[in-house]
Amino acid sequence: MGENVPEIVQEAVLKRTATTSLLKEIVHGYNWDNGLDFNKLLDSYKYSGFQSTNFGLAVEEINKMIVCRNQPLIKDNYQDDGDQSNKINNNCTIFLGYTSNIVSSGLRETIKFLVKNKMIDCIVTTAGGIEEDFIKCFAPTFLGDFNLEERERDCMDAQSNDTTFREKINNEDSVYYWAAKNRIPVFCPALTDGSLGDMMFFHSFKNPGLILDILYDLRRLNLMAIRSANTGMIIIGGGLIKHHICNANLMRNGADYAVYINTSSEFDGSDSGARPDEAVSWGKIKADAKPVKIYAEATLVFPLIVAQTFAKFYFQDGASGESN
């Protein structure tokens, strides 16, 4: 590079690359000269870098789950003790976890699509993730604004929640209507952490004696993971839903596939922000797995992920993509 460049500079800055073994994929974006093709546009994300690449890797990981799930279930590969409540129906049990804000948003319809068409096998959510679905069965949720005055925000909440309690939900718009119809178990490890808890508190005065057996639910969730031939985790958000799905898979020495979607960082030591490698160190994800975390707000990316994974299999198979 020139005889006058000091030797220390040549050594520190102009040193040749010693190995190229890690240089496998060329960074490139979508070629707009080919016109508008949304499928190829989303495929190009994998090679665009940053979170776009994680998006592409997550699509690949979920598609691996689906392919594995659609393979025949070999009886010798899973444990069946005859308990119908923990019966394994697919070669890859897919656990879907999400927080309450996901159901409050328009992602409710995307989740309903997965549950209605039996594309996942187990749901783990929060109290709000259940009650927000029920609330929407009675009245719509309206778009708000983080800058609204508190009084206006309360008024919008009242419009959404001014409902009369009923003993049964019979509404095909509900995620849990289809979960019940398709016998997909729903676990809520903190059922009291929301207005459902408030209602149970009031009920305890009116009709004392209600007991919730949370240990039985935990046993069912963990046994579902233990008895599975293979498992995949799709976790939207963090907190207790993330921990309970991961911990259930710890009981079987780790999930085979995993995708996290959240905006949390790991610097504060929270489980929400913990990366997949933390789960690998605990045995919650298998050491040879290829887990992916997308640092993104879910309403932006999850519908696109479903479009490139579950929806493709479903519509390509003539609306019969499930293996049940």
Q: Which residues are catalytic?
A: 284
Long-range contacts of 56-61 (CB under 8 A, 24+ apart): 57/290, 57/292, 58/259, 58/261, 58/292, 58/294, 58/305, 59/305, 59/308, 59/309, 61/257, 61/258, 61/259, 61/290, 61/291, 61/292
Count the Cβ atoms, other than its own, within 10 Å of residue 183.
13
Considering only CA atoms, which of 235, 221, 106 is closest in space to residue 173?
Answer: 106
Q: Which two tokens stand for residue 320?
A: 């019969």
CA distance 210 to 5: 81
Burial of 121 (0-12, 13-18, 19+ CB in 10 A): buried
According to DSSP, the residues that pair with 259 across neighbouring strands are: 234, 292
Give the phi and the psi of residue 226 in degrees, each rounded to 5: -60, -40
Nearest to 93 by CA among 50, 73, 122: 122
- Cα of 285 vs its chain's centroid, Å: 15
Q: How far apart are CA 8 and CA 118, in angstroms?
A: 63
Q: CB–CB of 217/80 below 8 Å?
A: no
SS3 162: coil
Q: What are phi and psi of 235, to 5 degrees?
A: -120, 115
